[in-house]
């Protein structure tokens, strides 16, 4: 199902794609009343993150360059369950615009989703080169395990080169979307507006009383009052760990501060390990409306 157009792998192919048009076409793919809460935006953000968050700064392996997430075994890693849905939704655009690389398409989809769901403008550059075959897939275990605590979260994100402030800002993406019992095993949205990019991850995390969910699934939290919203064990560290909590309090009180820090950290995430062509321009796309 993946296009093997050799033009897409030529080193200067990226110059031939019109990223403004691709932005618009991705934006047109977001809404679908039959999918989840009516939007593919959250799963596009998760695809962009998982395509990038495999980076290891010591070995300079992983990241969105190469787009290894589309190949087995990486596509089948447990953390990537459900992301085939996002890749298939985007595939017609790879056919329509063969000059964009998959690495650029997946990361751009995350940018479009954040912006169109009401988040900050995300600076983005093209020029990621796809691997033609399944080489350099990352080993399983590079993405965070939701069942673990602050030591694990730090070791995963420090490996990518992030600090505690950046990690906390990135975790705020859990304002979007939901957990699916048939993907991660966990269940439910983090708040009442999962298709709006807000600072609600932090406000819900700090203002609610969180109790263990009574069910046969993996250990997670639900809010005591309504029982409708959830937190993962790994989310809870942004409330309980003093260093993380310091930033959670700032972001809960100041949405603009969250947006500014998220935008910087998300661009950094999407660029981890990428060798950009020297003449790759930085785009700041306008939202559609």
Residues annotated as catalytic (active site), given as ranges:
50, 190
Q: Between 139 and 281, whose beta carbon lies closer to ligand ZEM?
A: 139
Contact predicate 30/24, CB 8 Å: no
As a whole number of angstroms, the distance between CA 251 and CA 169 comes to 8
- At its nearest, how many Å lie between ligand ZEM and the CB of residue 53? 7
Name residues whose C-beta falls within 8 Å of residue 234's C-beta, 6 or more positions apart in sequence: 144, 145, 146, 147, 148, 149, 152, 153
As a whole number of angstroms, the distance between CA 142 and CA 138 comes to 8
Residue in 8, 54, 138, 184 binding ligand ZEM, rule: CB under 6 A: 184
As a whole number of angstroms, the distance between CA 272 and CA 289 comes to 30
Q: Does 90 bind ligand ZEM (CB under 6 A)?
A: no
Q: Does 117 bind ligand ZEM (CB under 6 A)?
A: no
Q: Between 117 and 137, whose beta carbon lies closer to ligand ZEM?
A: 117
Q: Does 103 bind ligand ZEM (CB under 6 A)?
A: no
Q: Does 144 bind ligand ZEM (CB under 6 A)?
A: yes
- At its nearest, how many Å lie between ligand ZEM and the CB of residue 32? 13
40: nearest Cα among 114, 105, 102: 114
Site string for ligand ZEM, 242-281 (x = CB under 6 A): ------------------------x---------------
The dihedrals phi and psi of 130, each to the nearest 5 degrees, come to: -80, 140
Per CB under 6 A, contacts with ligand ZEM among 36-55 are 42-43, 45-46, 49
- At its nearest, how many Å lie between ligand ZEM and the CB of residue 16? 29
- At its nearest, how many Å lie between ligand ZEM and the CB of residue 262? 8
Measure the CA angle with vertex 256, ends 250 and 257; round to 5°.
Answer: 40
Residue in 100, 117, 173, 263 binding ligand ZEM, rule: CB under 6 A: 173
- At its nearest, how many Å lie between ligand ZEM and the CB of residue 143? 8
Name residues whose C-beta falls within 8 Å of residue 278's C-beta, 6 or more positions apart in sequence: none
239: nearest Cα among 229, 227, 228, 251: 251
Q: Between 17 and 232, whose beta carbon lies closer to ligand ZEM?
A: 232
Site string for ligand ZEM, 148-167 (x = CB under 6 A): -----x--------------
The span from the first CA to the last CA of the chain, in angstroms, equals 33
- The sign of the dihedral angle between the CA atoms of 69, 90, 111, 153 is negative
Name residues whose C-beta falls within 8 Å of residue 155's C-beta, 6 or more positions apart in sequence: none
Per CB under 6 A, contacts with ligand ZEM among 54-83 are 82
* Residue tagged 């954040």 (tokens): 114
| Contacting positions for ligand ZEM (CB under 6 A) | 42-43, 45-46, 49, 82, 144, 146, 153, 170-171, 173-174, 176-180, 183-184, 186, 232, 234, 266
């Amino acid at each position: 199902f993946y296009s093997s157009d050799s033009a897409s792998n030529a080193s200067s192919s990226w110059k031939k794609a019109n990223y403004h048009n691709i932005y618009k076409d991705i934006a047109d793919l977001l809404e679908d009343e039959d999918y989840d809460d009516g939007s593919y935006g959250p799963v596009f953000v998760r695809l962009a993150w998982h395509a990038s968050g495999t980076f290891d700064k010591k070995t300079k392996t992983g990241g969105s360059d190469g787009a290894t997430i589309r190949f087995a075994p990486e596509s089948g890693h447990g953390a990537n369950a459900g992301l085939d849905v996002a890749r298939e939704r985007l595939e017609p655009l790879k056919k329509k615009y063969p000059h964009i690389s998959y690495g650029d398409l997946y990361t751009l989809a995350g940018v479009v989703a954040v912006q169109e769901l009401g988040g900050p403008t995300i600076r983005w550059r093209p020029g990621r080169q796809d691997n033609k075959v399944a080489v350099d897939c990352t080993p399983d275990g590079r993405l965070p395990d939701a069942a673990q605590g602050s030591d694990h979260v730090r070791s995963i994100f420090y490996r990518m080169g992030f600090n505690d402030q950046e990690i906390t800002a990135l975790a705020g993406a859990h304002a979007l979307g939901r957990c699916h019992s048939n993907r991660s095993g966990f269940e439910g949205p983090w708040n009442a507006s999962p298709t709006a990019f807000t600072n609600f991850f932090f406000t819900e995390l700090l203002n609610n009383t969180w109790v263990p969910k009574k069910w046969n699934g993996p250990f997670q939290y639900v809010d005591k009052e309504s029982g409708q919203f959830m937190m993962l064990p790994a989310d809870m560290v942004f409330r309980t760990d003093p260093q993380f909590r310091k930033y959670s309090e700032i972001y809960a009180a100041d949405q603009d501060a969250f947006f500014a820090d998220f935008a910087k950290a998300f661009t950094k995430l999407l660029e981890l390990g990428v060798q950009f062509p020297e003449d790759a321009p930085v785009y700041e796309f306008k939202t559609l409306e």
